[in-house]
Amino acid sequence: MGNSQGKLSSPDYPVNLNQFRLLRVVGKGAFGKVRIVERKDTGLTFALKYIRKDEVVRSESVRNIIRERRMLEHLNHPFLCNLRYSFQDMEYIYIVVDLMNGGDLRFHISRKCFTEEAIRFWMAELACALHYIHGQGIVHRDVKPDNILLDSEGHVHLADFNVASDFKPSKPLTSRSGTMAYLAPEVFQGGGYLSNVDWWSLGVTFYECIYSKRPFDGRSHNSLSEAIMRTQPKYYVTNPAVTVPCLHALSALLEKDPTKRIGAMNFESFTTHAFFAPIDFDALERKEIEPVFVPSSDKTNFDATYDLEELLLEEAPSGGMFSFFSRKKGRERSPKPSERGVLGKEGARVVISG
């Protein structure tokens, strides 16, 4: 079981890999993997992201890794995957974050359909996370189901700041960073962009949760970018039908003009929208509203392929020379045991026509 957020504190002792038991692999990134680890002294579990230094250097991504770590050190929010420790040895950089053992959103939406109520809850929590990081001068740039993790109680957490960037309103960003299908139209138009792109990506994720497909597609990068810039998404007839407020919210997030996009205009434009207005966002951010969907505690919420791959290829870090740097963030606390081990309300949504 993962750990709840702790109060910030300064590092008081060096941390290294020898202090953790390496458990199963639960994810894979461009430069390494993510696995569950357990502190030997406390028994608390975390997620360990280990990144191969040679791959980072080869791909000229050193600045990205350093930037991600620096950002995580300064962020702390109920709906983020918060940093707890970071250190390195001769082969790897290690980043230890809160464990979210409910799996990622991609895992869940690829296996079943969910009610509007459940999806609205996820989008609202993610909106709180985006509002927070934008207030810290950070744009995520890769909001998608793969980077949205569920904890054991069903709350969502935004993860993976690998392509995130600091931004200033006076100096728009111009690079095409992120995942192609989730990039906003203004990214392709070349005139620069700010944090408004994250609200578009949230809209693409929202659409994918509703329809189990993305709103735009193309056989090549060019055709996909043209579709994103020039075409309107299709809103399919489904059974049960998608409600009008939900359709309007989707359309308002997938607004090609960033000055008219909800969330991008201001946070109130999101919270007061008819679809999200029933939610008390202050209570939501305090985690006082019970999640609609709770991941099963009886079965794994991760793809077993990653663990098998690790066994076959023997890629696990072994630990070596440590303490090049070490950082502890947050006070450890034992998690509350989840009292809910069953699935929440679900509903099948079937596309009837398109």
Q: How many Cβ atoms from other residues are within 10 Å of residue 289's Cβ?
A: 16
Helix, strand, coil percentages (3-state) for the chain, rounded to 5, are 30, 20, 50
DSSP 3-state assignment of 289?
A: coil
Q: Which two tokens stand for residue 228?
A: 């994103």
Is 303 a residue of the active site? no
Separation of alpha carbons 231 and 164, rounded Å? 27
- Which of 342, 311, 297, 335 has its CA nearest to residue 35? 311
Selecting among 89, 104, 142, 303, the annotated active-site residue is 142
Q: What are phi and psi of 84, to 5 degrees?
A: -115, -40
Residue 144 marked ligand-binding:
no
DSSP 3-state assignment of 288?
A: coil
Cβ-Cβ contacts under 8 Å for 68 (sequence gap 6 or more): 95, 161, 162, 164
Q: Which two tokens stand for residue 165?
A: 């960037």
Active site residues per annotation: 142
Sequence ranges of the binding site: 53
Sequence ranges of the binding site for ATP: 53
